[in-house]
Amino acid sequence: MSTAYLFASGKGGVGKSTVTANLAAVLARAGHSVAVLDADIGLRCLDAMLGLENMVVYDLIDVAKGDCLLSQALLSVPDLPSLHLLPAAQFARSKDLDVKKLRLIVNLLKKEHEFVLIDCPAGLERGLRGVLHSDVEETVLIVTPDDICIRDAERTLGLISDKQLPRPRLIVNRLNNDLIFSREMYSAKTVSEVLDLPLLGEIPEDPAFCIAQLRHRLVTDYHCDAREAFLRIAGRMTGKDTPLPAYGESRAPFFRRHFPGKLREVSR
């Protein structure tokens, strides 16, 4: 039994690719077989995020056009053999992708993997034009806790329902515990109530992302709050009743606020 997740957003830059890559890695590390499909044609990034940028030979468009087999285009992550990536094309455009072929590819990936995670491009038209109608089990809308992002998410919701995609669950990204506590940022609960969507997860704003990026690594390779957030979301994706962290309900302890400590790598 395989589950395909579509990660979408209205506004760009809210963390779709980051969330897709880290959830894929966490699920693969927990022993699940995972395929990531980079559907951001022309602006691929998951190959770089997963450390595979020098290994790309064929891509999604090559498979869709029949220029290679799916197995030839699929890359496996060296230290995570159960994680595979189908990279996006670098020099094509989203209109070059035949939707029927995309659906076929998703179904082929589902035959071989427990989880198929699809990273959508941002934007209403570009992002969801080529999207699938009946082949994804879960749609996940990623938002940051600000009015513009929420407004764009509302518009995306309309498009998602027009396309008869599953009603999304929500991941609220870049939350700041203390700002929520002092009522200077919306909590994930507020965003979820405004959009009337159930929460799949909450991810804090975390400087560990910058450090990980500079080292060409994933943030989940390090002990940090963001990693804990991804572990909780992955738990929920695998049917566990992991509680939401509810950032902002109390202030972080003094020492945690002022002395974050050195970033330690997760041992394998």
Ligand X SMILES: Nc1ncnc2c1ncn2[C@@H]1O[C@H](COP(=O)(O)OP(=O)(O)OP(=O)(O)O)[C@@H](O)[C@H]1O
40 touches ligand X by CB under 6 A = yes
Rg (CA), the chain: 18
232 touches ligand X by CB under 6 A = no
Smallest distance, Å, CB 229 to Mg ion?
18
Site map 105..124 versus ligand X, x via CB under 6 A: -----------------x--
Size of the site for ligand X (CB under 6 A): 18
HSE on the CB side for 161, CA within 13 Å? 8
Q: Return the beta strands (E) in 18-104 as ranges.
A: 34-38, 75-77, 80-86
The residue from 17, 82, 156, 220 that contacts ligand X (CB under 6 A) is 17
Task: For 184-244, give the DSSP string.
Answer: SS--HHHHHHHHT--EEEEEE--THHHHHHHTT--GGGEESHHHHHHHHHHHHHTT--PPP
List 175's β-bridge partners, or say none.
204
Comparing CB distances to ligand X, the nearer of 108 and 139 is 139
Distances (CA, A) of 195 to 65, 117, 170: 38, 23, 9
173 touches ligand X by CB under 6 A = yes
242 touches ligand X by CB under 6 A = no
List 80's β-bridge partners, or say none.
77
Q: Residue 93 is encoded by which pair of tokens?
A: 């455009």
Cα–Cα dist 15/22, whole Å = 11
Q: Tell me the three state secondary structure of residue 170.
A: strand
Report 178-207 residues binding ligand X (CB under 6 A).
Answer: 203, 205-206
Comparing CB distances to Mg ion, the nearer of 49 and 108 is 49
Nearest alpha-carbon partner for 26 in 233, 254, 187, 256? 233
SS (H, E, C) 28-44: HHCCCCEEEEECCCCCC
Comparing CB distances to Mg ion, the nearer of 17 and 220 is 17
Comparing CB distances to Mg ion, the nearer of 120 and 180 is 120
The residue from 4, 9, 83, 115 that contacts ligand X (CB under 6 A) is 9
The residue from 8, 18, 26, 109 that contacts ligand X (CB under 6 A) is 18
Q: Select the binding partner of residue 173 from ligand X, Mg ion, none (C-beta < 5 to 8 A, by kind).
A: ligand X
Contact region for ligand X (CB under 6 A) — 11-19, 76-84, 241-249, 257-265?
Answer: 11-19
Contact region for ligand X (CB under 6 A) — 16-24, 31-39, 130-138, 241-249?
Answer: 16-24
Site map 8..27 versus Mg ion, x via CB under 5 A: --------xx----------
Smallest distance, Å, CB 14 to ligand X?
5
Q: Tell me the three state secondary structure of residue 46.
A: helix
16 touches ligand X by CB under 6 A = yes
Which parts of this chain interact with Mg ion (CB under 5 A)? 16-17
Which parts of this chain interact with ligand X (CB under 6 A)? 9, 12-18, 40, 122, 173-174, 203, 205-206, 209, 213, 226
